[in-house]
Homo-oligomer: A and B are copies of this chain.
Amino acid sequence: MPGISEPAVSAAELPDWRGTGPRQAIVEFVAAVTDPDSADFVPERDRIAVFDNDGTLWTEQPVYAQLMFAIDRAAALGHPTSLEELHAGGMTALMELIKLTHAGITTDEFDAASRTWLASARHPRFKRPYPATVYQPMLELLSLLDRHGFSCWIFSGGGTDFMRAWAGEVYGLPPHRVIGSVGETEFRNESGGTPELVKSPTVQVINDGPQKPSSIHRHVGQRPIMAAGNTDGDLAMLQWTAASPYRTLELVVHHTDGDREYAYDRDPILGSGTDQLLAAAAENKWTVVDMAADWATVHPPA
């Protein structure tokens, strides 16, 4: 097809993926949808890929980074709490903590507070900043997709503003492609002052489960052709993607590596399992990434 020149897709673009099934599935998929002579060709404008964040692109154990941020911020605001209290209090206690620590502050101030915390906080086991607990093989996958004309988006249960304080830079994504749960913001423009957006305690969207396809529709307005997740909270997003008329790829990141990361089948706070996701993967022949077997490296070099 004259005028279209697509670079070749190579397994060498994924150096930290071992030569097992998932790497092959990714390379074959990207090669097929970017080959103008293939029946599976997808025009560049429709190459949308969506990713869960916690546990799919970075480590979510032993607790979400954002929850540690909230606990530290609550203490600084004079309301100390602990993980034990939060576990005992369940979703109600968690939402109270989020409202306390994520509201009554301008969006600019919240961004600064998030960045300050991220610069000093360290992961308790890996002794490195939380953004350095991203998965090196997934960074390589994001780069590969970007090089081959995909638009990659994050649809996470985490808070949008907290994620945008670091995820854009780390993953190489503009802020508008980093979407999570959101609270309302209130526009204030007091006489003589500067216009501000103030974060309100009203949670507007909890971006998990069946909300993810709704958020994708709202923020992208197109059906993805690739999706990656790691718990049942991502199942609807993968089902929505799989129903595209185009050829699609669904990736399930399975936490099997207790030595290099964590081996688990239940997320640390919300308690989503993986039973439904793994069953759907088996039934639909989705690609399951066995972290211990399929990844040569987990985190980037220190």
With an 8 A cutoff between CB atoms, is A164 at the interface? yes
Q: Within 8 Å CB of A242, what residues of B? A: 195
Q: Within 8 Å CB of A240, what residues of B? A: 187, 195, 197
Q: Is the CB of A221 within 8 A of B164?
A: yes
Q: Apart from A107-B217, A176-B220, A184-B214, what are 15 other A-B pairs with CB-CB below 8 Å?
A: A164-B221, A175-B221, A175-B222, A176-B176, A176-B219, A176-B222, A185-B217, A186-B210, A187-B213, A194-B243, A195-B239, A195-B242, A195-B243, A197-B217, A204-B204
Interface residues of A (CB under 8 A from B): 45, 107, 160, 164, 174-176, 178, 182, 184-187, 189, 194-195, 197, 204, 210-211, 213-214, 217-222, 236, 239-240, 242-243
Q: A174-B45, A240-B195 are in contact. Are A218 and B187 (CB under 8 A)?
A: no
Q: Which of A185, A220, A242 has the most CB of B within 10 A?
A: A185
Q: A175-B220, A176-B221 are in contact. Are A187 and B160 (CB under 8 A)?
A: no
Q: Is the CB of B185 within 8 A of A221?
A: no
